[in-house]
Amino acid sequence: MYRLYLHPNIEKQLARIPKGYAERLAIVMRSLREDPRPVQSKHLGQEMYRVREGEYRIVYAVFDKEQVVFVGKIGRRSEKILGLCKIETVPGNFITSIIPYLGIMEV
């Protein structure tokens, strides 16, 4: 099972979304721990993926070696959210060693 980490702004983003959608998005994010690449996900390049839930998109990165899924952004499909969330390829265990210092939450 993968560990799920959320960018610190995810809570703010979820707070602006109607409760019904926010609950569905939370379920989808939790399911990424079991299957980080569901059938409906779209590969955006390198470790980046996008999954849709209703009117919203979840942009995230999968780091297989570290068994980590990092959710970087949630936004409406009509918004241009892809350019706002860049996660670079990083060597080795860098991503897991830096996470505690970024204020990133594990779910």
What is residue 94's predicted lDDT score, i.e. its pLDDT? 45
Q: Pairing between strand 3-6 and 56-63?
A: unpaired
| Domain interval for residue 48 | 3-106
Q: What residue type is 16 in one-letter code?
A: R
What is residue 31's predicted lDDT score, i.e. its pLDDT? 95
Kindly give, in sequence order, each residue whose CB lies less than 8 Å from that of residue 45, ignoring residues fewer than 6 positions away: none
- Tally of domains within the chain: 1
pLDDT digit string (tens) for the chain, length 107 residues = 999 998 888 888 888 989 888 899 999 999 999 999 999 999 988 888 999 998 899 999 999 988 999 998 888 877 665 544 444 444 444 454 445 444 555 55
Give the CATH number for residue 11.
3.30.2310.20
Q: How far is CA 66 from CA 4, 37, 39, 53, 97, in A?
A: 11, 15, 22, 26, 10
What is residue 81's predicted lDDT score, i.e. its pLDDT? 54
What is residue 86's predicted lDDT score, i.e. its pLDDT? 47
